[in-house]
Amino acid sequence: MSSLLSGLNPEQLEAVALPHQSALVLAGAGSGKTKVLTTRIAYLIQSGQVSPHGILAVTFTNKAAKEMLTRISTMLPINTRGMWVGTFHGLCNRMLRAHHRDAGLPQAFQILDSADQLAIIKRILKSLGADDQKYPPRQVQWFINNAKEEGLRASQVEVYDDFARKMVEFYTVYEQQCNKEGVVDFAELLLRSYELLIRNEILREHYCGRFSHILVDEFQDTNRLQYKWLKLLAGDKAAVFVVGDDDQSIYAFRGANTGNMKDFERDFRITKIIKLEQNYRSHGNILDAANTLIRNNSGRLGKNLWTSEGHGEPLRVYNAATDFDEAAFIVDEVKSLRSEGVALAQMALLYRSNAQSRVLEHALFNAALAYRVYGGMRFFDRQEIKHALAYLRLIANLDDDNALRRIINFPLRGIGARGLEQLQDEAQRQGGSLWAAMRQNYEGGTTLILDSEVKILPGRDKVPDKPKKGMEGFVAMIEALRQGCEGLPLPEVVEHMLEYSGLVAHYRAEREGADRLENLNELINAAISFVHEAEDDSLTAFLAHASLEAGEHQAGSGQDALQLMTVHSSKGLEFHTVFLSGLEEGLFPHENSRNEAGGVEEERRLMYVALTRARRRLYLSFAQSRMLHGQTRYNIPSRFLQEIPDNLLKWLQPVQKTGFRSQAPETRNRGLDVAIQKAEFGVQDRATSVRDAGASQWRIGQNVTHAKFGAGVIVSCESQGADARVQVKFSRAGTKWLSLEYAKLVPA
């Protein structure tokens, strides 16, 4: 026992060893929040106050949940499988699976991601003949999710004007459609689970009796519905232990409500608030910067981070002429840090919005630096993966219209808009799913005789001899596929589906299909590791996993690579070195935030999160001009930069020392500034050098080598000058188009 508690500071110790009562822990960044949470769980179990069975621990990200489980299992020799540790969505999913009947859901109900949800909404708007100028689909989506996050069904939303009345109407139809298809969106997972507990007294008492300790991470990010859910589960017996930091609340846009912290104090009659302010992560200068910045926000609960370590280095500020320049600067610094022995994985490039990763990726790629992008286009978001998943979903649940629509004509089998429309009408008339309508009209007769005498299951061959076209072909294929998958272990189901559906054949025939095939292969690997790790290895569980943990799986993870991500997804992580790029007005703070109430303050908290990710070294950079929406924009440096005390900063550009602090740079001089900068720092104008190197150097048939792709031969050329491109066929990496300006090709 004592070993568990050793190494905690007095405040941490107090929090961990608190008696059975509800408590609020205000934990600053890097103050050992996760440590406190996990140690408390271990302590409660070890001291016999609760069994693993009686613990409910909630986080926001799967990453955090996983981290928590691994930490607990290093502290205690227990099987964590039966413990309820996970995200709100994950736990609600678990509950709904267990009681799908009571919740009014089919047992293989599917989970919609935002894109799926939007697709359904668009379809509904179209079928209702709604004016999508007046009612943009995204806004309808926003309305529905907001209502759900408040815990409101369509019938419960109060309306005061026609616009809202219309929105509620869409919401109603959407609800009906989802019910018919047996699908639920993210918010629905929570709402259903909540309603299930409200209505079903037996279940509620069961769970309330079970969980005597409820622990919540990142409490400042909870929305109203999540709070109500927690309150319901807590009943009047459970001790609710919440950890949060109001300064790190960055999800107001999706309903997070910091007011929950105040409500929590009141509703749970909190007498004990523990503040963790000692920071074990960053050097003093970084903390000073963060503390000073966040002090500009109003209405804080109040907290000041300190460290017993030294001040460390100043924060390095770089004023780049262009976004391209900024990327080049970062690449150079990364290289030299790496040569000093800092692992790539210990460096992070952070940015406000996903679109900014492009320039950075481009520069990194050409410098042959390994990197990994979190978020943005995720593995499970890729087109080919979504297609594959749609087949799987249809196998699991034939009523999933969304899935059916996605694949009914992919690979192409000659079913067009016309046929689909007829099908739609037919389904409407019958009040059933598309599949039901389809099967009634097009069942070929040759298929699906559920005959136990059939020795060889139909559809178990690799590929149907001749994939039949049209609706009949589709129906036959799906039915054969379903039968063929019966009884197979999950990875083989995936493999069989990939072949039998024709997806593999399709991408094999496609010119640029190599990467996609690789991803499809990776999907089989994902299924294999899922089977190893998960307690429930059914297809349905795998599909839920794919929806809920979309961000977790990445092909080629594990190697030492630079970490690229948005500031949002960096929350909870820490790195030796952090590069925070794009510190410009309009970008960070984002221009949309200026009109929103409290928008800039939320952006400031976001900035606070970004700063506190760094342990030792922190780079802040901005660009005077940046390509955005296809045109060059000129931005002034972010106000947040000016909110950091001067003495903590070290400007890396002498030119700019006199720059914006004394006076804002004047637009008309900017071109000149850039020229001066280039002259002073010997920046080579790459476009010029390419032109000089000449169009003549590269010709078809030429053998070349590329830093990353290896040896290859040029198969075609395009245009001349700065934007010249060549197509190179590499022996290993396939055929690619490369821009001569950036790709460092070497003649071989």
By CB under 7 A, name the binding residues for DNA: 60-62, 87-90, 113-114, 122, 136, 138, 186, 250-251, 253-254, 352-355, 358, 375, 409, 412-419, 548, 550-551, 566, 568-569, 590, 592-593, 596, 599, 606, 627, 629-630
Q: What is the C-alpha to C-alpha distance for residues 124 and 140, in angstroms, rounded to an integer? A: 11
Q: Give the pair of three-digit tokens for residue 84.
A: 């309820």
Catalytic residue status for 218: yes
Catalytic residue status for 217: yes
Q: What is the C-alpha to C-alpha distance for residues 627 and 634, in angstroms, rounded to an integer? A: 9
Q: Give the pair of three-digit tokens for residue 521.
A: 């292969």
Q: Give the pair of three-digit tokens for residue 723.
A: 């934007």
Q: Can you give the three-state secondary structure of 131-190, one letter per residue?
A: CCCCCCHHHHHHHHHHHHHCCCCHHHCCCCCHHHHHHHHHHHHHHHHHHHHCEECHHHHH
Closest distance between DNA and the C-beta of residue 221, in Å?
9
Nearer to DNA, 60 or 241 (CB): 60
C-alpha distances out from residue 390 to 112, 407, 415, 551, 666, Å: 11, 7, 17, 18, 54
C-alpha distances out from residue 76 to 15, 47, 338, 685, Å: 19, 11, 37, 60
Q: Give the pair of three-digit tokens for residue 442.
A: 């097009």
Phi and psi angles of residue 56, each rounded to the nearest 5 degrees, phi first? -125, 115
**Helices marked H in 6-136 — which ranges?**
10-16, 33-46, 62-75, 88-98, 114-127
C-alpha distances out from residue 453 to 456, 457, 464, 706, Å: 9, 10, 21, 59
Nearer to DNA, 136 or 645 (CB): 136
Closest distance between DNA and the C-beta of residue 579, in Å?
17
C-alpha distances out from residue 321 to 241, 503, 672, 674, Å: 49, 46, 11, 6
Catalytic residue status for 612: no
From its phi and psi, is residue 40 left (phi > 0), alpha (psi between -120 and 50) or beta? Answer: alpha
Closest distance between DNA and the C-beta of residue 364, in Å?
16
Q: Give the pair of three-digit tokens for residue 596.
A: 């929103």
Peptide bond into 589 cis (omega under 30): yes
209: Cβ contacts below 8 Å, ≥ 6 apart: 237
DSSP per position, 189-205: HHHHHHHHHHH-HHHHH
Catalytic residue status for 33: yes
Q: Give the pair of three-digit tokens for residue 116.
A: 């799926």
Q: Give yes or no for a contact between 369 and 350, defined as CB atoms under 8 angstroms apart.
A: no
Catalytic residue status for 340: no
Q: What is the C-alpha to C-alpha distance for residues 285 and 377, in angstroms, rounded to an integer? A: 35
Catalytic residue status for 613: yes
From its phi and psi, is residue 285 left (phi > 0), alpha (psi between -120 and 50) or beta? Answer: alpha
Supply the residues annotated as catalytic.
33-34, 217-218, 248, 613
